[in-house]
Structure 1
Amino acid sequence: MPEEDDAGEDHQGRMNRRTALGAGAAALGGAGVGGAVAAHLSQAASETDLAITNEINANLNNARHLFKITAAEPQQFDGGNLRGATEDNFPVLSGQNGAVYLVRLEVGGIREPHWHPTAWELNYVVSGSAKWTILGTHLDGSYRNDVFEAGQGDLVFAPQGFFHYFENARTDMPLDVLIIFNTSVREGSDDIGIKAALNAIPRDVLATTLGIPASALDAIPTDIAPVVITKRR
């Protein structure tokens, strides 16, 4: 019978059967332990995931990064309403240069012509159709006046400082537009409307500029008020 060395092999390089069986048993035992550990970790991970999910669900209405804009109290106007998320009511936006408004224009509704001196805006048409006008300067020194209609799913960009307005183009349904600003302040703090602009100019100067008699301006309201949503009469 061949002699065995300490490594459990005979001199012909064959492994001792007892050693082989012992190694196999150890391997199987290790696999069993590993499987048990893996199963335990998997169960623990599942329980952790469940706990996290339950915590998120429990705090869904209180999470500092969550704002339910459709549930916000709307500002009501003659031609529609708007709901906003700004640093005033969504503190996480403070210092982030971002604000969002959901605007609804009823049939005949018009967003007063205006411009934002320090902010641009992205307008996403959620539903309905909008007539747009955007007036701005260009490198050749001329004005460029873009007039177009945007429908559901369209995105409209109004550059910082460009004069613009939009209105509900439909006669059978409201217009819903989601507006994103690169400012954290509330709407009205960075708007200059056409009515306020006209009333910031002496009537005789405005009349001279327009080439009309001052009496032709008598019907223009004299208040300097924030930008509003109005309605066709």
Structure 2
Amino acid sequence: MSAFTRRNFIGTAAAAVGSFATLQKIAGADRSKSDPGPGSPPLDGQNPDSMWPPGTDSKSLVQNFKYPFSFANKRTYEGGWSREVTVRELPVSKTLAGVNMRLTAGGVRELHWHTSAEWAIMLYGTARITAIDADGKSFVADVKKNDLWFFPSGIPHSIQGLNPDGCEFMLVFDDGNFSESETVLLSDSMAHLPREVLSKNFGVGEQAFANLPKQELFIFQTDVPGRLEDDQKVAAGALGKSPTDF
């Protein structure tokens, strides 16, 4: 083979190899970097590394590490709404559960208690929180945006939205299996106790309980409360105020 022929052959072969490599890249890109759909561009844009993993990705399956409250179903009532994210929606969250709640002005999350401890941060507006400590003494306080509270396990408590536009807050519980749907509610407890037991406990006639709700309230609408000092005085009763600042 002449030198010219060898050079010609080498050049032609190199061009062919280069063209083939280019075609391979294009073909590969067409297969891996395309998604004919249908899809959800807004969600894809928020999760670019899930949509198109970086080159360092190990290609192994990983647990979902986030679940937006926007995906969670809202329980709506006259007086507000509630939605939650637990281990059922986010399997990786075994030790924490979250609840996002909104109350109108006057809207009440009725008195309730649960085995999980509750930490909270106010996201919007103002609210009045009420609790009863282990000695039966009361705690009543008003909270605003960025304020916090903490109710230990078993402490009965309630929350009410204040003027002008109620409140919204985030609750965090120390159990991934927690659910707001499984708390012990005052209305539900009273509905299941015999009237004679209630009458003896509160020292009033059975007729006083004739209009008790037949089912749980959870969240309900009522009037906006008056001055904080008045509520604190009434709640204190004979036992007085709780020394604990929740």
TM score, norm. by length of structure 2: 0.63
Q: CA deviation at 1:56?
A: 4.5
Aligned to 2:124: 127
Q: Cα RMSD between the aligned structures?
A: 2.1
Aligned to 2:159: 166
Q: CA deviation at 1:178?
A: 0.2
Partner amino acid for 2:49? E
Aligned to 2:80: 80
Question: Helix, strand or coil: the match of 2:175?
Answer: coil
> Contact 2:127/2:166 (CA < 8 Å) preserved in 1?
no
Aligned to 1:228: 218
Q: CA deviation at 1:97?
A: 2.2
Provide, for residues 72-131 of structure 1, a one-character-per-residue CA deviation record: whole Å limited to 9, x for no partner.
3311112111111012222222xx221001001122210010011x20100110010110
Question: Helix, strand or coil: the match of 2:176?
Answer: coil
| Structure 2 unmatched runs, 5+ | 1-46, 54-61, 224-246
Choose 1 or 2 for highest CA Rg: 1
TM score, norm. by length of structure 1: 0.66
Q: CA deviation at 1:180?
A: 0.2
Q: Is 1:148 aligned with 2:145?
A: no
> Contact 1:133/1:166 (CA < 8 Å) preserved in 2?
yes
Question: Helix, strand or coil: the match of 1:100?
Answer: strand
Question: Helix, strand or coil: the match of 1:64?
Answer: coil
Aligned to 1:55: 49
The 1:54/1:123 distance shift into structure 2, 3 A limit, reads closer
Distance 2:116 2:156 in 1: 12
Partner amino acid for 2:193? I
Q: CA deviation at 1:54?
A: 4.4
| Percentage identity across paired residues of the two chains | 23
